[in-house]
Structure 1
Amino acid sequence: MSQKIETGEQYEPAFEIHLTDVIAFFRKYILFIAIAGAVAAVLGYLLSYTQTKKYTAKTVLLPEYSSSRSSFFSLAVNNNADGPGNLTPDLYPTVLESTSFGEYLLKQPVVTQSGQKYPTLKEYLSKPAPLSLLARIRSFFSFSKPTNEPGGPKLDLKGSGVSYYSREENGLISGAKGMVSASIEQKNNLISIESELTDPVLAAILVEDAKTYLVDYVEDVRTAKLNQQLDFLTNRTEEAKKRLKNAEYALQSYRDKNRNPFLNVARIEEQRLQAEYTLAQSIYSDLVFKQEQMRIKVKEEKPVFKVLETTKVPLNTSSPRRLIFAIIFGGLGVFAALLYIAIIREKFHLILMKD
């Protein structure tokens, strides 16, 4: 292993590792490494029982359009579509991350697994939770005073387009939004909405509420412009109907008062009232026809969400994953055993050999 040079210089032995050395190393310590990995895996598996159990409720949707349209997605990406037709499915998860969605969830009634009913999710989240020992210690040693919020509780911003929330309200809204998540599968264009909570019944209820909010939001966006046109036609139709009634009443009243007209002036007035009635009737009929057409168009523009996977109350826990805990801790145990052997056992053995 050592080489001597004629110049008189002598090099230290070169450190080389052969395959036989690796095999010998594992033969020597394989039992120790296996025991360390097994013990760590068992400890990790037992430690998983200290984690809070969580359940995941999920629903899967497929957006479509009526038969008069090719498909929802082909229309959603069409740049020539009228109105806000560019609400692509990629934006759906963003819809369920908005502050409006958090406010919507806070107003929904919920039921827990124990059967206790709450009129709103806000009351459920506002209930006092039992403090842990660590939280009690922190609260005991906390001397900080709550800071005054800008504007105070009497701040009025109505009509300015600016929303103001207190710290507590912001916390509740963020907590409500965090209870539900959505994702889009690009390959099949499937929308998944899920919620992972410690209460399986509450998780299922929130998933169903999120689905309702998303469907209503997309329908409102897709048909907003058409609904405005429909409202306009409805108002004009009501005005035309009143005009028609007035024209009909004026014509009939004139005929009742002039049953035997002999003067040409009386005939001219009757012809004028008849023309006014005919015009009002024509305008009313035309508006009624356009109104019905617009109603049909609104129905055609409404997206249809097919439910591929209904929302069910989960029976099995989704976390903690005990096998994953055992594998991770087992790997850490093997790694710790190798470090112990390399740094302590083998190093000490080399020192004894040098001595």
Structure 2
Amino acid sequence: MSKENNSIHPNINSGEITINFGEILRVLKSYYLFIGITAFIFAGIGAIYSLTIPNEFVATVKLLPEMDNRSSGSNLGGLKSIAGLAGVDLGSGLGSDLVKPDIYPNIVQSTPFLLEALQSNIYVQKHKKWLQVYDYLIAYPETPPLQIFSFNQSVQAPKKTTGIQSPKSTISSELIQLNKSQYYAVNNLRRRIKAEFDKKTGVIMISVKMTDPVAAANLTSFTQSYLTKYVISYRMEKVLKELKFLQDRLLDARKSYDNALSRLSTYRDQHRNTFLQVAKDQEKKLQYEVDIAFNLYAGLNTQVTDSKVKVQRETPVFKVLEPAQVPLQKSDPQRTIITLSFLFFGLFLSLIIVFFRSVNLKKLLSQ
């Protein structure tokens, strides 16, 4: 008898669990209309939601910055290659005064740059006029294709309220204090401007996302100009200060030389027919002062010339590989992907509901 039972129910003793796909198909056939309607409703919600998002356009520019190896690579010469074989790194090859390209993304994300970018002008096609970036983000935000809600972004954006204010006497000139509208605009712009550095190719890519294609191209060009000027200013600040110092000292040396030469000429004119030894000694002393002043002036003049050459040599060079262009196609939102995502979510949700409400676990799982 036990053998008969085992032959009729072979899976009872083995403990194996099998899934009854017939039960699954039966439930799907019974509730296919509910599943299809739910997925269709969610797809419609996704399509409507995608239309409430304004179009975004991305403009990019690619730069090739200068990679300077004079200060480290060329001075070490073959010693660096030998040290490399021994596993010792003697430097990355960048000059000590050169801004590393890894820092460029931080520059375009800094608050001083963003505040200056907010004051720059961009051309907006929809309004057919030039606007400041600040006004465009706060007062003239782009509207989506479908406006369901009664409010828009301009209402959401805070007005020019001051917020917490401190007495001017307690704030250092180096500190930045933003009101609420400036804080909103800065954070909005920080999400729109990005810079990336490719360590393999050494290329800097600046991208700007705006709701207007021409505005995106304008702001990309401004960002490129600001970044190059910032790097050049940082790199040349020390060299230009040195040049200014030498030029000031050169003017002082020239005055000292002219005064010493004038004193010598006056003394000679006054003691032209004098044969006293005292007069000759005084003339030698004045001539010595003239020689010292001239040597100082000549030396400083040479240093000024060398410093001017150094300014030209040390000025960083940026090669534009791909200039900024007005984008022809929007980058966001990807309405098809959003709609499909909602559709699959609705499909998944409907299957979960059907499973927990209608599937008989005893029939589905058999042993």
Structure 1 gaps of 5+ residues are: 6-10, 72-76, 140-145
Give the direction of change, closer, same or farther, for the CA distance of 1:39–1:163 in structure 2 (3 Å limit): closer
Partners of 2:118 and 2:133 within 8 A in 1: yes
User: 1: CA distance between counterparts of 2:45 and 2:224?
Assistant: 41
CA displacement at 1:61 relative to structure 2: 1.5
Residue 59, structure 1, aligned to residue 61, structure 2: yes
Q: Which runs of 5+ in 2 are unaligned?
A: 7-11, 74-89
Other-structure match for 1:93:
105
Report which stretch shifted further, 94-103 or 45-54: 45-54
**Shift in alpha-carbon separation, 1:56–1:339, aligned structure 2, 3 A:** same
Secondary structure of 1:320 counterpart: coil
SS in 2 for 1:133: coil
CA distance in 2, matches of 1:24, 1:245: 107
Please state how far the C-alpha of 1:270 moved relative to its aligned partner. 3.0
- Cα distance, 1:54 vs structure 2: 0.9
Compared with structure 1, are the counterparts of its residues 197 and 346 closer, same or farther at alpha carbon in structure 2 (3 Å cutoff)?
Answer: same
Paired with 2:69 and 2:199, the residues of 1 have a C-alpha distance of: 23
User: Who is 1:168 aligned against?
Assistant: 181
Deviations 1:48-82 (A, max 9, x none): 334211111111122114696799xxxxx938977
User: What are the within-5 Å matches in structure 2 for residues 247-262 of structure 1?
Assistant: 247-262=260-275
State the partner residue of 2:150.
133
* Partner amino acid, structure 2, of 1:324: I
2:280 to 263, 267, 277: 267
In the alignment, the residues of structure 2 paired with residue 273 and residue 159 of structure 1 have an alpha-carbon distance, to the nearest angstrom, of 53
- The answer as to whether partners of 1:68 and 1:300 remain within 8 angstroms in 2 is no
2:164 is aligned, of 149, 167, 177, to 149
Choose from 186, 189, 199 the match for 2:212. Answer: 199
Letter of the 1:231 counterpart: K
Native 8 Å contact 1:83 1:225 kept in 2: no
Deviations 1:126-171 (A, max 9, x none): 53769962469x99xxxxxx896242xx523465644333333333
SS, match of residue 326 in structure 2 = coil
Q: CA deviation at 1:240?
A: 1.0
C-alpha distance in 2, partners of 1:147/1:260? 83
Which residue of structure 1 lines up, in the alignment, with residue 225 of structure 2? 212
Distance 1:80 1:319 in 2: 40
Given the superposition, is the C-alpha separation of residues 267 and 58 from structure 1 closer, same or farther in structure 2, using an over 3 Å criterion?
A: same
The structural deviation recorded for 1:282 is 1.2
Q: Distance in 2 between matches of 1:224 and 1:82?
A: 15
3-state SS, counterpart of residue 193 of structure 1: strand
**8 Å contact kept, 2:124–2:212:** yes
Match of residue 104, structure 1, among 116, 138, 145: 116
Q: Provide, for residues 98-118 of structure 1, a one-character-per-residue CA deviation record: whole Å limited to 9, x for no partner.
A: 121122213323322243123
Three-state SS of the structure 1 residue aligned to 2:169 is coil
For 1:332 and 1:126, the matched residues in 2 are separated by: 35
Is the CA contact (8 Å cut-off) linking 1:157 and 1:164 kept in structure 2? no
Q: Report the Cα offset of residue 254 of structure 1.
A: 3.3
Aligned length: 326
Contact 1:58 1:194 (8 Å CA) reproduced: yes
Q: Is 1:17 the equivalent of 2:41?
A: no
- Structure 1 residues 332, 125: closer, same or farther in 2, change over 3 A? closer
Between the aligned partners of 1:68 and 1:333, the Cα distance in structure 2 is 62
Q: How does 1:1-40 map to 2 (within 5 A)?
A: 16-17=18-19, 21=22
- What do residues 215-246 of structure 1 show as CA deviations (whole Å, max 9, x unaligned)? 22222333333333222222211211221222
Q: Distance in 2 between matches of 1:109 and 1:50?
A: 27
Evaluate the alpha carbon distance shift between residue 255 and residue 125 of structure 1 in structure 2; reply closer, same or farther with a 3 A threshold: farther
Cα RMSD between the aligned structures?
4.2
Q: In the alignment, residue 91 of structure 1 is paired with which amino acid?
A: I
Q: Does 1:185 align with 2:198?
A: yes
The CA distance in 1 between the partners of 2:283 and 2:277, in whole Å, is 10
* % identical equivalent positions: 28
* TM-score, normalised relative to structure 2: 0.71
1:196 partner SS: strand
**1:182-331 matches, cutoff 5 A:** 182-331=195-344
CA displacement at 1:347 relative to structure 2: 5.0
Cα offset for 1:27?
A: 9.2
Map 1:31-50 to 2 at 5 A.
44-45=46-47, 47-50=49-52
Q: From the superposition, tell whether residues 238 and 52 of structure 1 become closer, same or farther in structure 2 (CA, over 3 Å).
A: same
Amino acid at match of 1:100: P
Q: 1:261 to 1:173 in 2, by over 3 A?
A: farther
Residue 174 (structure 1) shift = 3.0
Residues 23 and 301 (structure 1), Cα distance of their counterparts in 2 relative to 1, 3 Å cut: farther
Question: 1:15 Cα shift?
Answer: 6.1
Q: Residues 249-281 of structure 1, C-alpha deviation per residue, up to 9 Å, x if partnerless?
A: 333333444444444444333333322222212
For residues 269-313 of structure 1, the C-alpha deviation after alignment (integer angstroms, 9 at most, x for no partner) is: 333332222221211111121222223333333332221211111
Q: Which moved more, 1:177-186 or 1:258-267?
A: 258-267
